[in-house]
Structure 1
Amino acid sequence: MTKLTWSLAATYFVGRAGGVVRSFLVLYLTQEKHLSPTSAGAVVAALGLGDIGSQLLGGWLGDRIGRRNTMLVGFVGAALALAALGSAESLPEIWAAAVGVGLTIELFRPAGSAAVADLPARQRIRAFGLLFWAANLGFSVATVTAGVLARYGYGLLFWINVAASLVAALLVWLLVPETRPAGPARTRQPLLPVLLRDRLMLAMLAIHVGYFTVFLQTFTTLPLLMTADGLGPSAYGAVLALNGIAIVVLQPVAVRLLAGRDGSTVSAVSMLLVGAGAALGAVSHGTAGFAVSVLIWTLGQIGIAVRFGDTFADLAPAELRGRYMGLASTTWSVGAVLGPLAGTALLDLGVLGPFCAVAGIALFAAARALAPALRRRTAAPDNDREGAVV
């Protein structure tokens, strides 16, 4: 594992471990700022829209000003935006600050992914796996500490998040080198003409939007399903904790087991597992049943994480790596918007379970259908990848 990878992992951990505001933002807005649930939801939605923009902006900046500079802009900008959100009083100010947080707080992700994509292909899988593991370990720390610290006031959470962003920026400044390929022509390559010709990339983006929609709806529908089953918040917290524990324990093992496997097969089976786990959760009863469903879709989540980054890195022309990785990250953000909307609607209609099962099978079939084209792209020289089609 390279020094770059460990430095990025430390940065990801600090950024996620100190990211304590987002999980408690609705409570802060409704309890301390006395906003209505609808207004608070609009603020969270504004942050989510900014998050979608940050993935695209982070990829573009990563190719234009460099991976390292983009991460610095993101972490410092997030610190300023979080401070503004924590001190905003009127609803327009809060909404504008939330957009600013969304636009900056995830800039580091596509830039960091592009930096790993710049590594030799044989190093990418383990590097992406370490970043995923570090980020989830940090998230687990954040969810535990935020609940304790919130007792002392939500303002403290904002300042902790600001401090964490600044510490992450310092780590980037001191430890993370620039990895962007040299040459002025590389920074001027337009994305859209290449992307529109790249039918394989477009198909992969569509499949992953579908996957993240199915996966991320679980975080909205699971508490509703468990509440309807008569289980309280403590049971939900315990079941959800299995997700983080399983990732921390199993992710390093999964990287070793899956690194040499065909990436298309790993992704296809993982999507099938997520669909099956989500479908099982929709018809489960009792804590044990919901826990099993979470463990099943967590296995799928781990499998996707192991091969997600290097798969899209293999698709990207060298001069467009930042923007391709930004587009890849955007599939998560779009799924985070579509998932709760689709999940709650399907739950109301009583068809959430069958939909998730069918979606898992369809995603499995689509991923397998693209496998030959992905293998051809991976085998092609980097210079031949621009404008490649299925």
Structure 2
Amino acid sequence: MQFRPLTKARSSLGATFGGLPNGFWWLWSAQLINRACGFVMPLLAFYVTDELHRSAAFAGTVVAAIGIGSLAAGPFGGILADRLGHKPTLVGALTATAVSMVALAYARSPWTLLVGAFVVGLVSNATRPAHNALISEVIPEADQVRAYSLNFWAINIGYSVAMLSVGLVAVTGYTALFWLNAATTVIGAVLIAIRVPGRGPTEPPEDATAEQGFGSVLRDRTFVGFVAAELLVLTILLQSESGLPIAMNQDGFSPSTFGQVAALNGIVIACVQLPLTRLYKRFPESWVLAGSSALIGVGYSVLLFGHSAWIYGASIVVWTLGEIGNTPTSFAIVARISPDHLKGRYQGLYQMAWTGSAVLAPLIGGTVINTWGAAPLWIGCLVVALAAAAAQLGIGTRLNRRVEDARQKAEQGAEPAAEVG
């Protein structure tokens, strides 16, 4: 009896980490290394104002150039992944990211800085459709939610390490951090090139010659509805980077206090994501997606009950629990419903929900708080999240039906084409 807790712990660890192929763990390791040394993006505004002595307005323009490149990266990276193969596209985009980061470190004129930032945003985010599609390539369908959850875990742990390490700039200077970021990106590319299996581009089935190109993804109305609902949810989620700090500043909290409270997001993800993922697997994916979306809205509505640091902390804990359910599940759904020859394009369109929300969230959050105050923003987050959750529940039913139809057709020896209704 005294060994039962140890047995349960081993069983839990096995359920979380066991049974996944070695190729995935090399892909996971590359993700962790790259995120842990991802210094350039978070420090770019500081670099432009502090090192280059440019204005805050110009620094914002340079960061916006990154965002514009990110918006274009979804379709660009998805098309390349389908045409060249997921692994070659990922390795190539990582290599291009390293080169562009080093070039940006030596850009000085306004135009070279803006063009360099755009290119970094484009090639660094072009890795994402290929990376997510490659996970679906090396992981069996039954384990994909778990794999995407572990990938999300690596992203958040790596980001936390990077944020704790940015003080290195005081010792090394900015240029050295650009080189370090680039060097670790190359290491990740080499690991993937050598250790991760990958196949070439998948040829479309003979009966789906009309269903090729990005247009076929846009004609998939069910999937476009899924992306639109996720755009709403992610715009709410990313109030953590816009509405939340503005509201805390208005309530008199210092940037240091905001950082301490915001750190709860990474702490909660690191501590409870993996056990929560096992819990969520007991329920249909459409329920998990809709429930987690609603929970994100509920989390922000907690801020209607007060203005203390404890209330802000409670809000972050609640919406983080929703984030844990939403992100891995949504990536797994995209991987499952997309035809093999269009997986990169499907991931690319879904990525636009992330990059688009990064543009919309600060515009909406700042405008609403400036015009009406914080309370209407939190009420709006709750209402929109509940509406998106209801839509996701209906869309999820159609997507589940598509998965079942795909299985039946696969058993009959025919690969299904993308649904357009």
Same fold (TM over 0.5): yes
Checking the alignment, whether the CA contact within 8 Å between 1:272 and 1:360 is kept in structure 2 is: yes
Q: Quick one: distance in 1 between partners of 2:170 and 2:324? A: 30
Partner of 1:329: 351
Gaps (5+ residues) in structure 1?
none
Q: TM-score, normalised by structure 2?
A: 0.88
Match of 2:389 among 364, 378, 386: 364
Partner of 2:134: 115
Partner of 1:238: 260
Q: Quick one: distance in 2 between partners of 1:181 and 1:207? A: 30
**Secondary structure in structure 2 of the residue aligned to 1:267:** helix
Checking the alignment, whether the CA contact within 8 Å between 1:199 and 1:389 is kept in structure 2 is: yes
**Secondary structure in structure 2 of the residue aligned to 1:370:** helix
Partner of 2:176: 156
Partner of 2:47: 28
Q: Quick one: distance in 1 between partners of 2:266 and 2:48? A: 26
Partner of 1:42: 61
Compute the displacement of 1:291 (Å).
Answer: 0.6
Residue identity matched to 1:250: V
Question: Residues 225 and 129 (structure 1 numbering): CA distance in 2 closer, same or farther, change over 3 Å?
Answer: same
Deviation string for 1:7-41 (max 9, x for gaps)? Answer: 11101101111111111111111111122111111
Gaps (5+ residues) in structure 2?
1-19
Match of 2:318 among 288, 296, 299: 296
Matched positions, count: 390
Larger Rg: 2
Checking the alignment, whether the CA contact within 8 Å between 2:203 and 2:341 is kept in structure 1 is: no
**Secondary structure in structure 2 of the residue aligned to 1:285:** coil
Checking the alignment, whether the CA contact within 8 Å between 1:74 and 1:107 is kept in structure 2 is: yes
Q: Quick one: distance in 1 between partners of 2:313 and 2:168? A: 24
1:136 corresponds to 2:178: no
RMSD: 1.9
Instruction: Single out whichever of 252-261 and 291-300 deviates more from structure 2.
Output: 252-261
**Secondary structure in structure 2 of the residue aligned to 1:226:** helix
Q: Quick one: distance in 2 between partners of 1:335 and 1:374? A: 23
Residue identity matched to 1:198: D
Q: Quick one: distance in 2 between partners of 1:323 and 1:387? A: 12
Partner of 1:55: 74
Residue identity matched to 1:288: W
State how 1:240-259 maps to structure 2 within 5 Å.
240-259=262-281
Match of 1:278 among 281, 300, 309: 300
Partner of 1:173: 193
Checking the alignment, whether the CA contact within 8 Å between 2:338 and 2:418 is kept in structure 1 is: no
Q: Quick one: distance in 2 between partners of 1:148 and 1:286? A: 33
Instruction: Single out whichever of 374-383 and 84-93 deviates more from structure 2.
Output: 374-383
Deviation string for 1:282-303 (max 9, x for gaps)? Answer: 6641211111111111111100
Q: TM-score, normalised by structure 1?
A: 0.95
1:147 corresponds to 2:167: yes
Partner of 1:353: 378
Residue identity matched to 1:212: L
Instruction: Single out whichever of 81-90 and 175-184 deviates more from structure 2.
Output: 175-184
Question: Residues 357 and 182 (structure 1 numbering): CA distance in 2 closer, same or farther, change over 3 Å?
Answer: closer
Compute the displacement of 1:49 (Å).
Answer: 1.0
Checking the alignment, whether the CA contact within 8 Å between 1:222 and 1:281 is kept in structure 2 is: no
Instruction: Single out whichever of 185-194 and 343-352 deviates more from structure 2.
Output: 185-194
